[in-house]
Amino acid sequence: MSRTDVQLMLDVKAGDDSSFDFLLVKYRSPLVNFLYRMVRDRATAEDLAQDVFLRVYRARKHYTPSAKFTTWLFRIATNVALNSVRDNRHQRMEVSLDAPVSAEDEDPMPRDLPAREKRIDEQLLERDRVVFIQRAIGSLPEKQRAAVLLHKYEEMDYAEIAKILDCTEAALKSLLFRAYENLRGQLAPLVNQPAAQRAVEGRPS
């Protein structure tokens, strides 16, 4: 019978470092993706994810299973991400004034390309869409962004997200509504045009 996350963390607390490895393997990918979508930089996201695991390990002696492990973990991750975004905001503004934003800056198609071979126009179109979606999510205020990412990609329920963001469920509903309204405003032109359909339309007959 597999141990729950809480049990694994309690084992880490008791001095079993192999349980920490289990948690590391299980949550490294969700954490890196969450942080990558928060800070929009792969290297920073990995560094922050390492920082989160280090904080978890450091806090092991004081861990009490008062909430779900993921709530605790993503609360740490969200705080780390929000601090990073706030710390780098000024720096990012300076960079954006000096250098034009290129597709490479956004790191839109990081390393793992889809297995299915696609035509170049399809790939370019999809790449544009991905950059557009990333920018739309990235343009949300930090707390809205965190709420959307936890809701959409981590599929957490409202109570859990509210605990992570330290707000009431009613406030979270309102936050999510505003966030999706923002995204709807930005992404509406692309909503009814999936990549494949646009590629077909654009192909000369």
Residue from 67, 130, 167, 199 binding another protein (CB under 8 A): 130
According to CB under 8 A, which one of 120, 191, 204, 205 is a site residue for another protein?
191
Task: Measure Cα distances from 173 to 46, 53, 104, 160, 180 in Å.
Answer: 30, 29, 34, 12, 11
Task: Assess 18 for contact with another protein (CB under 8 A).
Answer: no
42 contacts another protein (rule: CB under 8 A):
yes
Interacting residue with another protein among 54, 93, 95, 101 (CB under 8 A): 54
Q: In the complex, what is the shortest distance from the CB of residue 30 to another protein, in angstroms, rounded to a whole number?
A: 9
- Type and span of the H or E element at 114: none
d(CA 45, CA 36) in angstroms, rounded, equals 5
DSSP designation for 55: H
Binding mask 131-150 for another protein (x = CB under 8 A): --xx--x-------------
The DSSP output letter for 2 is P
Determine the Cα–Cα distance for residues 122 and 198; give it in Å rounded to an integer. 9
- For residues 13 and 152, which CB has a smaller minimum distance to another protein in the complex? 152
Buried/exposed 27-37: b ≥16 CB within 10 Å, e otherwise = beebbbebbbb
Return residues touching another protein (CB under 8 A): 17, 20-21, 24-25, 28-29, 32-33, 36-37, 42, 46, 49-50, 53-54, 57-58, 109-112, 114, 126, 129-130, 133-134, 137, 151-153, 157-158, 173-174, 176-177, 180, 183-184, 187-188, 190-192, 195
